[in-house]
Amino acid sequence: MPDEVFKPIVAVVGVGAVGGYYGAKLIRAGYDVHLLLRGDYEAVRANGLQVRSALEGDLLLSPERLQIHRDPRQVPKPDLVLVALKATGNAAFTSLIGPLLRDDTAILTLQNGLGNEDQLAALFGAHRVLGAMAFVCVQRPSPGIIQHIDHGFLKVGEYAAAGHQPPGKTRRVEQIAGMFRSAGVRCDVLDDLRRGRWEKLVWNVPFSGLGTVLDLTTDRLLATNVGVSLVTALMNEVIAIAAADGVELPADVIERNIRHTVTMGAYQSSMQVDRRQGRALEVDAILGEPLCRAKALGVATPSLEMLHRMALLIDPAASSADPP
Amino acid sequence: MPDEVFKPIVAVVGVGAVGGYYGAKLIRAGYDVHLLLRGDYEAVRANGLQVRSALEGDLLLSPERLQIHRDPRQVPKPDLVLVALKATGNAAFTSLIGPLLRDDTAILTLQNGLGNEDQLAALFGAHRVLGAMAFVCVQRPSPGIIQHIDHGFLKVGEYAAAGHQPPGKTRRVEQIAGMFRSAGVRCDVLDDLRRGRWEKLVWNVPFSGLGTVLDLTTDRLLATNVGVSLVTALMNEVIAIAAADGVELPADVIERNIRHTVTMGAYQSSMQVDRRQGRALEVDAILGEPLCRAKALGVATPSLEMLHRMALLIDPAASSADPP
């Protein structure tokens, strides 16, 4: 990546709700952004990209303002790849991301859950990889149309493979954070990405996992004592895995997460939305990988284990992949 | 109950799908049946009772053929009370059944799950109480209209309080079984009602409980290995509680239940139907009581325990009864 003024070429892989939202912000700010599309290509070519937001105002990008591609080999080699595929689409990493890379291209995944950075590192080299947690409520009701509901800030950090010290706040990660900030996105830099991932899982495991399995919005999960006790049991298991993985989470993490979630009202996680629309669920990234770490580290997680099996059971993708 | 020809006065308490189905059969066979109705009273008074069945033919009882009541004090004292309330309505036992009873009135509950006989025995005396498992697929799409889908046979037995020997096949239980048979209902007599209850719970806990919590029909629960493993884990816990309760279930009970359920296709348990229609769920009878027995008997049932909490969480009745 160039060292002077940071005006990178950016490729966005996966222009759904999250990729479309951040991609549009960067384009508006004048960055050289290339969008790699598959199913939505024709719709975006015809109608452009719209981010509708009552909170931030609408952002309408006509087709002439977009650089869109169907074939990764036709994208100019970028300095930075933003990965915003659903984690259920990670099997396409090789074919979609491989052709984009120069020696010094960095890859930042904005995906949910655990294991995405590891997969990218295994395929393309750990030195390229960064991760971000996107704290944003967005949906994609139809191709090229993104509905922004709330929030939008990022926490970004350098990847470290298991057993390696986190590299901390590198020049590269600071540059990327600066790019997002200059596009109007609040962006914090993490010393330790892994800690950030575990912190976010404390929220995702109960509110995405349990909420999807029971098809209950966040307010319903927290409306009764029995709900709070289930949510808390799952959070405690995530905290225990994180601790075994070397990440001590702050003592008030459960209380803070519950308090914050109450303010969100009747919120549907993206996983719950996926279930209601019959799409594949991010079971692996949200539940499977944490469970896998728990087993490797010898941590007992009975609630997470049952939740994981239940999530597989309702996942249309898993159901077809696993005949009796 | 009279000893000679068994032509009892029967009162049916709860004329929903199950009470309406068996009540209609007894009325057609010429028995002296009184129906105690609440919400459906006006509809049944105006339009009578209809059992629609592609399998058995329709059975239409005009209002003139029915003896219906709103107030239990106006029902002639019956020889036999058939209890077919949802177990979620058991709080009404005292007011609905109390006024019906003579010294020798028997009470037969057709309700699902565990604990209904115990509640009736505690209120009205163990000597009165019998229980039946109704293996029937019926729904009540609107008041007085019963849709029969499949099956219909009963297994009936005398109640024995915890720690008491089952009284076996008494004259009374044989008479009741004979009454149902003469009305065209297949009816087996059980030596041991408790065994029958546990056997039925082996089916109900996974297929009603898990199916309702995940909102999946029986075929979906059995379509994948992960589904079969969850179903089997729950069945094994029920078998373990039954064993601790003195009931050894046959070795092939899991395999038989799964094999039979596969033949049922995309079956919705009544509990799943209740969830979809926003009605109170029989969480206590199907999951809570078995879990309570497990705790009393020191049996570890982690899957049942989590399932129970999840079921409470989706139960509209429990949610409103248990504010945060």
Q: pLDDT digit string (tens) for B178-230?
A: 999 999 999 999 999 999 999 999 999 999 999 999 999 999 999 999 999 99
The strand pairing partners of B13, in sequence order, are B36, B83
The 10s digit of each residue's pLDDT in A70-115 is 999 999 999 999 999 999 999 999 999 999 999 999 999 999 999 9
Give the per-residue pLDDT at B2.
47
Q: What is the mean pLDDT of residues B80-90?
A: 96
Query: Is the pLDDT reported for residue A5 higher than 80?
Result: no
Going by pLDDT thresholds of 50, 70 and 90, the confidence category of residue B323 is: very low
A207: left (phi over 0), alpha (psi -120 to 50) or beta: alpha
Interface residues of B toward A, Cβ cutoff 8 Å, are 210, 213-216, 220-230, 302-303, 306, 309-310, 312-314, 318-319, 322-324
Chain A residue numbers touching B313 (CB-CB < 8 A): 214, 216, 220-221, 224, 226-227, 230
CB contact under 8 A, B324 and A224: yes
Q: What is the mean pLDDT of residues B289-310?
A: 97
Which residue of B224, B303, B312 is in closest CB contact with A319? B224
> Per-residue b/e over A230-240, b at no fewer than 16 CB within 10 Å?
bbbbbbebbbb
Mean pLDDT is highest, among A1-10, A264-273, B226-235, for B226-235
CB contact under 8 A, B224 and A323: yes
Query: Is the pLDDT reported for residue B10 higher than 80?
Result: yes
Q: Residue B31: which residues within 8 A CB-CB, separation 6 or more?
A: B7, B8, B10, B179, B183
Q: What is the mean pLDDT of residues B40-47?
A: 97
Query: Is the pLDDT reported for residue B319 higher than 70?
Result: no
Residue in A226, A237, A308 to test binding to B, most B beta-carbons within 10 Å = A226
Which residue of B223, B228, B324 is in closest CB contact with A228? B324
- CA separation for the pair B150, B54 (Å, rounded): 9
Predicted TM-score (pTM) of this structure = 0.88
The 10s digit of each residue's pLDDT in A187-210 is 999 999 999 999 999 999 999 999
Query: Is the pLDDT reported for residue A324 higher than 50?
Result: no
What's the Cα-to-Cα distance from A102 to each of A73, A194, B189, rounded to whole Å?
12, 26, 78
Question: Which parts of A172-281 are beta strand (E)?
Answer: 187-189
Nearest CA among B232, B259, B227, B153 for reference residue B196: B153
Catalytic residues of B: 200
- CA separation for the pair B77, B126 (Å, rounded): 19
Interface residues of A toward B, Cβ cutoff 8 Å, are 210, 213-216, 220-230, 302-303, 306, 309-310, 312-314, 318-319, 322-324
Going by pLDDT thresholds of 50, 70 and 90, the confidence category of residue A6 is: confident
The 10s digit of each residue's pLDDT in A213-248 is 999 999 999 999 999 999 999 999 999 999 999 999
Catalytic residues of A: 200
Going by pLDDT thresholds of 50, 70 and 90, the confidence category of residue A318 is: confident
What's the Cα-to-Cα distance from A47 to each of A43, A61, A111, A235, rounded to whole Å?
6, 9, 26, 43
Query: Is the pLDDT reported for residue A1 higher than 60?
Result: no
